[in-house]
Chains A and B, each alone.
Chain A
Amino acid sequence: MEIEVVSLSKSFKEVQALKNICFSVASGELFGVIGPDGAGKTTLFRLLATLLKPDEGYIRVRGLDTVLDYRAIRNGIGYMPGKFSLYQDLSIEENLHFFADVFGADMKKNYELIAPIYRQIAPFKDRRAGALSGGMKQKLALCCALIHRPSVLLLDEPGTGVDPVSRKEFWEMLALLKKQGLTILVSTPNMDEAALCDRVALLQQGRVVAIDRPSAIIERYPYPLFAVRSKEMHRLIMDLREWEPVQGCYGFGEYAHLSLHTASRRPSEIAAYLEQCGHEAVEIKSIAPGIEDCYIAFEQQA
């Protein structure tokens, strides 16, 4: 195992940020930590990056303890914090050289690892980091986190504040790095990005509620699920929640997702109920759940 997290807990004053977390990540895995703001993602990543000490439990990175062996671990990990942390007054090129020097890394020898990413920002290498767009900052930060050729990459919310095009490109870069054998831990509040990971841990208020392949988590979703819409979305949701067979009903964009307690209900019964409530232009279809449906089901159980 590349990373082992065992019975990990961490509190800040009265707030318990992480509660008895356990998981492990295999070498070469792309592992996602999925959860909203405040779930404990950043605390977990700071603990993994040896920047915080656990209150209870421990973390081993390649067999080394994050408290006792922090120095050795730091040489083997690349950490990209959620907040842009490069030198805004230095140029792209200067930032890269600075981080290479700090780690005593051989730029020439390691360049090939970052080349596919660096080539995209190289035309702007003299521009100050502070003057770059969100997507370019992200690429530069990734280069700086990789320049010492770490075996583990820790990316805390790399997609925040970045438009969908850059976000997509970023995930494609991660796929390339994974091919090079890197172990990658990435956190995100976007549930739909779970599908891009080999395995994910769903984090909810400091607890891990599920760890598995995204498809396996989805397979375990316990309710029959439907997408429903009508002319009046707000009233539709309110009316459905009043209906006895309904387990839950939540807006999902243009449709509301409706989960039922029993498998025996048919779309025609839902339609009859909505007609009785006076809804117009009703549309109902049976759908497969996504990670977000699963996450909501876990939230309801909590």
Chain B
Amino acid sequence: MGNVIQVQALTRTFGDFTAVNKISFEVRQGEIFGFLGANGAGKTTALKMLTGLLMPSSGTALVAGYDVARYPEEVKRTIGYMSQRFSLYEDLTVRENIRFFGGIYGLSTSQLREKTAQVIEQLGLEQQAGLLVRSLPLGWRQKLAFAVAQIHEPKVVFLDEPTSGVDPLTRRQFWEGIYEASARGITLMVTTHYMEEAEYCHRISIMVDGRIDALDTPAALRQQFKAVDMDEVFRKLARPDQPVGHVD
């Protein structure tokens, strides 16, 4: 399977400050790729470039075959986005949310009708289609948000802290949906600083001071950093100058 995301020496500066410093990596089709970094490490800036929202200063990034600098609009159309914090309009019904987001992604009236019916059927929400999203249990809301993020059949879906704070059973149900999407060939890019989420990814990259300082499978990273879990890997990377456990 080919690479769906290809990043080469991608850089972004703001004045004298280099927020993203020559990062390079590839993400394969169907891969669940964890994109990690401490607050301020440059994760958000990198993501904005990968989603066509911010121009790179130098370097290249291809997302689903489109150069993000030359074809940002095409990039936006080929990706989906979901965040735990905001994904659906709670004051709209299930059906209205699907139609709203489908409309934003430029689906035609007939496509909208077809897709709306399809999503409702897939999720088994026939009885709830006319209910406000607010009244749905969190687990259902998340499944719906994930389905809505894929309504335009994107090749890549970006997930921002998709399950932080969610109860353990609901989290697992959600990740099963992610595994299932991955098995269908959709590429998933997960950003989080919750290691419970990171451990589910096939591979993980960790950004420190604008660079990618580690990139491998969770198991290989644990081995490389002689760490018992990803939390320890992260701490060793993010503050190498500071002995872990030191306060003042």
Contacts and interface: CB of A to CB of B under 8 A. Distances in A.
Contacts of B47: none
B136 to A, nearest CB: 12
B179 interface: yes
Contacts of B39: 133-135, 162-163, 166
Interface string A283-302: 00000000010011001100
Interface in A78-122: 116-117, 119-120
A253 B168 contact: no
A165 B234 contact: yes
Contacts of B180: 234
Contact of B248 (A116, A165, A234): A116
B48 interface: no
Interface stretch (A35-43, A51-59, A262-270): A35-43
Give chain A's interface secondary structure class.
helix
A36 B166 contact: yes
A226 B11 CA distance: 44
Contact of A168 (B165, B182, B235): B235
Interface string A187-212: 00111100000000000100000000
12 contacts: A160-B165, A162-B39, A162-B193, A164-B231, A164-B235, A165-B38, A165-B234, A172-B245, A192-B196, A233-B179, A234-B176, A296-B168
Contacts of A37: 138, 165-167
A252 B170 CA distance: 13
B132 interface: no
A168 to B, nearest CB: 6
Given A133-B40, A164-B235, A172-B247, A251 B172 contact: yes
Interface of A: 35-39, 116-117, 119-120, 133-135, 160, 162-166, 168-169, 172-173, 176, 189-192, 204, 232-235, 237, 250-254, 292, 295-296, 299-300
Interface in B165-209: 165-170, 172, 175-176, 179-180, 182-183, 193-196, 199-200
Contacts of B172: 250-251, 296
